[in-house]
A and B are shown apart, each in its own frame.
Chain A
Amino acid sequence: MNRLFPSTSGAQGFAGVARMAVVVLVGAVVLAVASLLPESSPLHVSAFTVSLAGKYLSYAMLALAVDLVWGFAGILTLGHAAFFALGGYAMGMYLMREIGARGVYGNASLPDFMIFLSWTKLPWYWWGSGHFLWACLLVLAVPGVLAGVFGWLAFRSRVSGVYLSIMTQALTYALMLAFFQNGFGFGGNNGLTDFKDILGADLHSPVTRAVLLVITGVVLALALMLSRFVVAGRFGNLLVAVRDAESRTRFLGYRPEQVKLLIWVFSAMLAGVGGALYVTQVGIINPGEFAPANSIESVIWVAVGGRGTLSGAVLGAVLVNMGKTVFTAWLPEFWLYGLGLLFLVTTLFLPKGLWGCLNPPPVRRQKTSRPRFPARKEMRHECAKTSGNA
């Protein structure tokens, strides 16, 4: 199976990632500035476009997180939207409290939905939700801790491959069911919405929106560089080693479960940050974000952009989501056909994704031969192995 993964050594060059980080940054700043121009200006962009761009970049964070575990550690996650949504809820709780007495029921300390449920005080897990810094901590900690517990249990008992994928799907499905319940304390069906401001700044003002977009761009650029740091060095090599020949690393004295856990938790935290950025700009977070379909969709962004290439993940997320916006506006009933075909075409014909096609790995010396395509029999063998142990 390893042959089908792109080699990471060198393929994830500093220059490529840095270029993408700069593109993201410049793009966000340009859009933000353009949105502040007077409406008469030909360069003016609407508030809708800004929040759309913010949404794409938040999704790009999620794609980056998925790519880290799938592209580099070989863990196909079908539940990463759960971490994204948890980050979103953590930030959403703070934004809910910021509404204060401006809600429909005018209660200064309780969000509207709690009054509706005739609760009289905040549940314990809403403690501290009034503080922005606490919210930021939760954005990292909640996905991190959940990923830590889940990953520790799964990796330690060597659950891998398709089994692990299904487990992650079950995880996000269970969370979705839980968050749909009113009694769970996060607004049930409706989720958290109707936010007014953040740190005192009006969320609906163009300036706040522009600043949020720039912040998203900066955070994404930083995340790109940080991820590059993680996967480019010796740890990146170790990840690839664990991905391709886990048991071999054990006999070298490494503990693959720890390696996987580290990248898994880091990835979950990235996804959480993406969710937090998402909720500030989109203005709503509800249990639908936990839907397994969302997680699988985020995997296809990565596949389209190019698995195992950090820049590709960002590219794929932005492109596919732009396509979705256009498609659902013009031909809503054909979007699912389009998305379905995207899955088929990418897996069948574009295993390396767009980035992989645009940037073929550098040729090393003259004698470097890409490993030959596996003979059918060997592939079958891999397959048999998978069925035996997956």
Chain B
Amino acid sequence: MNAPKLLEMRDVSVTFDGFRAINGLSLTLAAGEMRAIVGPNGAGKTTMMDIITGKTRPDSGSVRFHGQDLTRLDEPAIARMGIGRKFQKPTVFEALSVRENLLLSLSGLRGPFSVLMARLSGKEQARVDHLLDMTRLGDFADHQAGGMSHGQKQWLEIGMLLGQEPELLLVDEPVAGMTDAETMATADLLREINRTRSVVVVEHDMDFVRALDVGVTVLHEGSVLAEGALDTVSADPRVIEVYLGR
């Protein structure tokens, strides 16, 4: 943990109508690190992502990205700072083609007037082609995204995430509903991405987490239960009790 801190959550709590979804959660991520977050249903994994990306405002605690407090910012501002998010349920713009989806995701123009006046540049064209290659969607570039398979949508969404060129990627259950082969390919893709960017992955699939071969944080009832390598963590009796043991 000598690398500079990229993301730091300190003592974060949030309550929904009396239910404590996140309870004094603290988590630190170094620049360039990839981290897997595991935990049973209701452990607060998705809510944690909601807090980082500005969808949910915490009741207390602080979230710092490059030392800047995120809790006062809204989603677009946080996204523009370089935090990208992939949802549990793949969310792409179904009425648009794959290419148009990727084009919209490209970092750069964000104001409505600049988008209105935008014309496709050669550079943007090249970036989209590169993303199509990387996500193996080149053959489907002009297909409507709504007609793609579940796995293809997952990949398209990851492609869009890369188009944003974020420093930190938050990936929520990327391999849910994928075949084993697709799962392993996704693990490779994430490791590839991790070379240049930091990644937080939420996942249930232990084979996938093992394949990623990264540090694991176990969440339980809204706070951190254990942290470390997968083998260490899965040997922890408390973890076995709340999660793996069941």
Contacts and interface: CB of A to CB of B under 8 A. Distances in A.
A175 interface: no
A235 B115 contact: yes
Nearest to A364: B142
Interface stretch (A211-219, A244-252, A317-325): A244-252
A258 B74 CA distance: 14
Contacts of A251: 53, 75, 79, 84-85
Contacts of B142: 364-365
Interface string A347-358: 000000000000
Interface string B90-132: 0111111100100111010111110110111000000000000
Contacts of B110: 253-255
Interface residues of B, number: 39
Contacts of A261: 112
Contacts of A253: 76, 79-80, 107, 110, 164
A233 B95 CA distance: 14
Contacts of B96: 7, 9, 237, 240-241
A389 B43 CA distance: 24
B93 A241 contact: yes
B112 A9 contact: no
A6 B96 CA distance: 10
Given A9-B97, A252-B164, A365-B142, A234 B79 contact: no
A122 to B, nearest CB: 37
A255 B103 CA distance: 16
Interface residues on A, range: 35 or more
B143 to A, nearest CB: 6
Interface string A221-245: 0000000001001110110110011
Contacts of B147: 368-371
A3 B104 contact: no
B160 interface: yes
Contacts of B92: 245, 248
B24 interface: no
A359 interface: no
B76 A250 contact: yes
A377 interface: no
Interface string B66-79: 00000000111001
Contacts of A259: 112, 115
Nearest to B170: A251
Contacts of A173: none
B146 interface: yes
Contacts of B234: none
Nearest to A5: B95
A108 B74 CA distance: 56
B144 A364 contact: yes
A334 B80 CA distance: 57
Interface string A255-294: 1001101100000000000000000000000000000000
Nearest to B83: A251
A165 interface: no
A7 B95 contact: yes
A8 interface: yes
B104 A245 contact: no
Given A250-B76, A254-B76, A240 B93 contact: yes
A250 B104 contact: no
A127 B152 CA distance: 61
A244 B164 contact: no
Nearest to A266: B116
A233 B143 contact: no
Given A244-B94, A368-B143, A237 B79 contact: no
A244 B95 contact: yes
A376 interface: no
12 contacts: A2-B146, A7-B96, A233-B118, A234-B116, A235-B112, A235-B118, A237-B103, A240-B93, A244-B93, A252-B104, A364-B142, A368-B144
Interface of A: 2-3, 5-9, 230, 233-235, 237-238, 240-241, 244-245, 247-255, 258-259, 261-262, 364-365, 367-371
